[in-house]
Amino acid sequence: MAEQTAPQSSNDLAKTALDRLSSVIDRLIAPDGCPWDSVQTPETLTEYIVEECHELVEAIRSGKTVDIIEEMGDVAFLLVLVGKLMNRKGEPGLAEALDAETAKMIRRHPHVFADTAYASQSEQFKDWERIKREEKAAAGDGPKGTYDSLPRGLPPLTKAYRIHAKADRVGFTWPEDEDVERQVEAEWLELLDAIAEGDEAAIEHEFGDHLFSLVELGRRKGIKAAPALNAATERFLARFIAMETLARERGLDFVNLSLDAKDELWNEVKASEKAASSEPTA
């Protein structure tokens, strides 16, 4: 009887798949490989990395497994490719990056890999920042500011969230949620004053301050501004498309309908959503 082999674990399968991808990339960047891949550098790939990461985020938010798998593969391809191109220049690559990340995660999670205990998640986050500062000092980089590692190219809402989160970890934020709520209200009133005065520069300034304070209020409630706004825009788009569809089905010229007529369609679409969400599932 043939000897049965044990099924591969998920880790083994991932390693095998990564080895296959690595071999394919080796062939692509060989002198007689793909004319495009073989002349790339880490610098030329930066925009592709940004684009593919955005596509991965969009796929995850869509909840479509097929799309998520495809976009994860695209991001993985670029990361492995960058690592190999770094190696080609005689510099550390993907293996060194993974080893460094493994060591970093162990250092920064002493409550998991050592005997440290935290009274709260806030205390854990503050210790995370302390460990990061110690790492920088040990690397000879000297003292680092709270925001030195903040990527300036982050999308604004994400950047605002990160700024508030880091400020909280060093103890520079409002003591209570109610304080933030009052700040949001104060910023709103300042915006209304600027609008009443007709000062365009002041309006933009106060509008930004209001958004910034809203991001902090959301953060304290466990809400990230960027995905929350994305969900709101997707809801609007879905409803708007449904309005246009209803108008076409009824032989109506949507663009030339009155605002009241459009509002009626909008309310009808919302009512349909509510009815659909309350229907019992089989």
DSSP code string of 127-191: HHHHHHHHHHHHTT-----TTTTS-TTS-HHHHHHHHHHHHHHTT-S-SSHHHHHHHHHHHHHHH
Kindly state the helix (H) or strand (E) to which residue 228 belongs, with its residue range: helix 225-249
Helix (H) or strand (E) segment spanning residue 64: none
pLDDT of residue 136: 77
Burial 210-246 (b: 16+ CB within 10 A, else e): bbbbbbbbbbbeeeebbeeeeeeeeeeeebeebbeeb
Give the architecture (CATH level 2) of 16-108: Orthogonal Bundle (1.10)
Decide yes or no: CATH 1.10.287.1080 for domain 145-223.
yes
Q: What is the pLDDT of residue 1?
A: 47
**pLDDT tens-place values along the chain, 282 residues long:** 455 665 667 788 888 999 999 999 999 999 999 999 999 999 999 999 999 999 999 999 889 999 999 999 999 999 999 999 999 999 999 999 999 999 999 999 999 999 999 998 888 988 888 888 788 777 776 556 888 888 888 889 999 999 999 999 888 999 999 999 999 999 999 999 999 999 999 999 999 999 999 999 999 999 999 999 989 999 999 999 999 999 999 999 999 999 999 999 999 999 999 888 776 554
184 vs 224: CA distance, rounded Å: 16
Instruction: Count CB neighbours of 82 within 10 A.
Output: 21
Instruction: Give the pLDDT score at 282.
Output: 46
The separation between the first and the last C-alpha atoms of the chain, rounded to the nearest angstrom, is 47
Predicted pLDDT at 244: 96
CB 94 within 8 A of CB 79: yes
**What pTM, to 2 d.p., does this model score?**
0.66
